[in-house]
Amino acid sequence: MSLDASGQFALAYALTTTAGLRGFLTLFAASVATHYGWIHPAHSFAWLGATSTTVVLGIFSLIEFGADKVPAIDHALHAVSFAVRPLAAAILVGGTIHADNAPTLYGLMGLGALNALLVHASSASARAASTLTTLGTANPLMSFGEDILVIGGIVIAFLHPFIGAALALLFVISLIVIARWFVVRARAGKQIARSS
């Protein structure tokens, strides 16, 4: 797949959004895409397509998938992911955008990391509120929902980067609204419990 600059930006935005929910799975998808020549990263990110990189990211994707389904372990995973997912997003930007110079690329990588951090923080807030309101029983369902969104988002991003980017933007806005609703609901429940 050969993308012009705007296509590269759209792909990067869509992938950094999915990385906010599943950093390793999104990196794994980019690694497979690089390995098979579907995307062509700059030379400094060519390692993304190495077989060893693809295998390691595949293993970590499976661990991420399983650990996110277990209440309590999912919270530990989310804590670690505050560093991992923005880093994954920065790598994704570096692997998809061909910038004219290093400072521009680093700035774009930083923006990608911030996007993933925003998505992850919203998701982690919703997960924490879910734990408070459902004692963690809804967390595996939320996780499966995130898996479906991420896989769909990755597929759309690679097939139609502009549609993927538009859907990613709508998703980010929706996630912020939903996370805020969960937090407000959890706070209201705590206040009712205190006053009882």
In the chain, what percentage of residues exceed pLDDT 70? 98
Complete DSSP assignment for 11-31: HHHHHHHHHTT-HHHHHHHHH
Could you say which DSSP state residue 1 is in? Answer: -
Amino acid identity of residue 55, one-letter, is V
Alpha helices in the chain (DSSP H): 5-19, 23-35, 51-67, 73-96, 102-134, 139-159, 161-195
How far is 43 from 111, CA to CA, in rounded Å? 21
> pLDDT band at 196, cuts 50/70/90?
low
How far is 161 from 7, CA to CA, in rounded Å? 6
Could you say which DSSP state residue 38 is in? Answer: S
**CA 195 distance to own-chain centroid:** 39
**125-142 average pLDDT score:** 82
Q: Which of 93-97, 103-107, 139-143, 182-186 has the lowest mean pLDDT?
A: 182-186
Whether 178 contacts 121, CB under 8 Å: no
Whether 18 contacts 157, CB under 8 Å: yes
- The whole-number pLDDT of residue 46 equals 93
- The whole-number pLDDT of residue 45 equals 93
pLDDT tens digit sequence for 2-21? 788 899 999 999 999 999 99
Whether residue 193 has pLDDT greater than 80: no
Whether 119 contacts 172, CB under 8 Å: yes
> pLDDT band at 169, cuts 50/70/90?
very high
- The whole-number pLDDT of residue 187 equals 81
pLDDT tens digit sequence for 53-109? 999 999 999 999 998 888 778 878 888 888 999 999 999 999 999 998 999 999 999
How far is 48 from 43, CA to CA, in rounded Å? 10
